[in-house]
Amino acid sequence: MKMPKINSVSVKLGSLVMIIFLLLVIAIHSTLYMLFVRFHTNDRIQGLLQRSSNYSALLSDHFEKTTISHVLGMESLTNNLLLILDASGNRLGASDNLARLSPENLDKIITHGSLEHGSVVASDWKNEYYFITQSSILSGSQVVGKVIMLTPTEPMRNAVTALGVTNLSVAAIAVLISAALIFVTSNLVVKPLLRIIRMTQRISEGKHDWELIPSGTDEIAQLSRSINQMSENIQYYKHQRNQFLADISHELRTPLTYIKGYSEVLANDVVAKEEDKKRYLTLLYSQSIQLQRLVQDLFELANLEQGAFSFEFKRTSIEKVILNALDLMSDSIKETGIDLKYDPSPVSLYVMGDERRLQQVIINLLENARKYTPEKGAIHIATFAREDCCIIEVTDTGSGIPEKDLPHIWERLYRVDKSRSRTTGGAGLGLAISKEIINLHQGEISVTSREGAGTTFRIKLAKIT
């Protein structure tokens, strides 16, 4: 089993828990010790003092042999030691277990202290073997003897030792719990984190061959899933970028090949007929126009995506936007034999927008409708209000878009039928630009289409008064 590193999260957490536990144990132990010692010393000494005072009072009343032996008899049932002396310190009676004491100790006790009524002779439970109290036996106001009582301090020391052992065991358990915590966090948190670190390092090196295996639903598992997702996204964007570059090269290659070929032919003076020369020149011109438009659209899209274009937002009439677009487009649409109809909203609709950019979107949609609608087809524009939005719909009866292509038509350079689009001159940028413009208006653009039946593009913008 690999040991966690000293500066790892698990060791830090475990040490913190251990320190907190130990501090708690020390605090609890100190408090218990203080309370216990104070309570028990007081309890034992006061009890002892009470007994010796009772006996001395009894003996003060009946200072005779029978009372002395009664008292000794009563005390013989306890663990206490009892000594009854006369005023000169002669022993009048003693409990049997007093023989446990050495004669020197006994002498010390007998000669110790004043004969004042009720006093504590020894209370040091740590260093002395007995708590000792004494009480005077009086006859009137004269002291005629004393009662000395002893009780062992050993049970007290034993109890304190037991308390210490219990608290030490708790401290040992705290250390064990901390060690377990280090082990568990190391396995549950640190190891997956290390894997995540290694994974992100690989991602930053451009390697996407790894995948984290998240288990459960905790934060680490969520992080692992997010990192897997991030790796997938990066891969996807890399692929997109490469695809985009490949598409661009492809788009540029075709007109450039034409331009190179025709200009070579013209430069070498191999074309004899004047009308052929003219045809080639016209082709050269149209290819360069197509190239120019492609570069312009790409530039525009890049600027839109970076937010580099400043929009002139003002109160804009939807009707005006559409009529302007129709002005520019209706002739070319009608020329192809397509029926064009505009159905304006009965109430004037206004949005906060850039008139020129919105017009550009409508032109893009009309151009598409024209390109993909056959002769005798129809294009229908309708505007209407729905709740607090303006809706613009451009519907055609053209070829429609296959369902599998629908989600992709907004992507740069995406065309459903690439060969067909080449002849119509589209590069697949119009819808990407339109979507970007509508997004910058906080609006939505969507499409519904049925292959062979037609397509409807719908723009939704916030209405203003």
What is the binding site for Mg ion (CB under 5 A)?
368, 426, 430
Q: Which stretch binds ligand ATP (CB under 6 A): 43-51, 65-73, 167-175, 410-418?
A: 410-418
285 to 324: interface string for ligand ATP, x by CB under 6 A: ------------x---------------------------
One-letter amino acid of 452: G
For Mg ion, the closer CB: 398 or 426: 426
263 belongs to the binding site for ligand ATP (CB under 6 A): no
Number of residues that bind ligand ATP (CB under 6 A): 24
Considering only residues 414 through 453, tell me which ones interact with ligand ATP, judged by CB under 6 A: 414-417, 421, 426-432
CB of 1 to ligand ATP, least distance (A): 60
**Pick from ligand ATP, Mg ion, none: which does 372 bind, CB < 5 to 8 A by kind?**
ligand ATP
Considering only residues 333 through 392, tell me which ones interact with ligand ATP, judged by CB under 6 A: 364, 368-369, 372
For ligand ATP, the closer CB: 214 or 255: 255
CB of 212 to Mg ion, least distance (A): 42
CB of 415 to Mg ion, least distance (A): 9
**Pick from Mg ion, ligand ATP, none: which does 355 bind, CB < 5 to 8 A by kind?**
none
For ligand ATP, the closer CB: 132 or 301: 301
CB atoms within 10 A of CB 40: 15
396 belongs to the binding site for ligand ATP (CB under 6 A): yes
CB of 421 to Mg ion, least distance (A): 9
For ligand ATP, the closer CB: 350 or 372: 372
Q: Quick one: three-class SS letters along the chain?
A: CCCCCCCCHHHHHHHHHHHHHHHHHHHHHHHHHHHHHHHHHHHHHHHHHHHHHHHHHHHHHCCCHHHHHHHHHHHCCCCCEEEEEECCCCEEEECHHHHHCCHHHHHHHHHCCCCCCCEEEECCCCCCCEEEEEEEEEECCEEEEEEEEEEECHHHHHHHHHHHHHHHHHHHHHHHHHHHHHHHHHHHHHHHHHHHHHHHHHHHCCCCCCCCCCCCCCHHHHHHHHHHHHHHHHHHHHHHHHHHHHHHHHHHHHHHHHHHHHHHHHHCCCCCCHHHHHHHHHHHHHHHHHHHHHHHHHHHHHHHHHCCCCCCCEEEEHHHHHHHHHHHHHHHHHHCCCEEEEECCCCCCEEEECHHHHHHHHHHHHHHHHHCCCCCCEEEEEEEEECCEEEEEEEECCCCCCCCCHHHCCCCCCCCCHHHHHHHCCCCCHHHHHHHHHHHCCCEEEEEEECCCEEEEEEEEEEEC
For ligand ATP, the closer CB: 45 or 401: 401
Q: Which stretch binds ligand ATP (CB under 6 A): 218-226, 249-257, 337-345, 396-404?
A: 396-404
60 belongs to the binding site for ligand ATP (CB under 6 A): no
Give the residue, chosen from 284, 409, 438, 461, that forms a contact with ligand ATP under the rule CB under 6 A: 409
For ligand ATP, the closer CB: 431 or 445: 431
Cα(263)–Cα(399) distance, integer angstroms: 36
For Mg ion, the closer CB: 335 or 387: 335
Nearest residue to ligand ATP by CB is 430
CB of 413 to ligand ATP, least distance (A): 8
Chain positions contacting ligand ATP, by CB under 6 A? 297, 364, 368-369, 372, 396, 398-401, 409, 414-417, 421, 426-432, 455
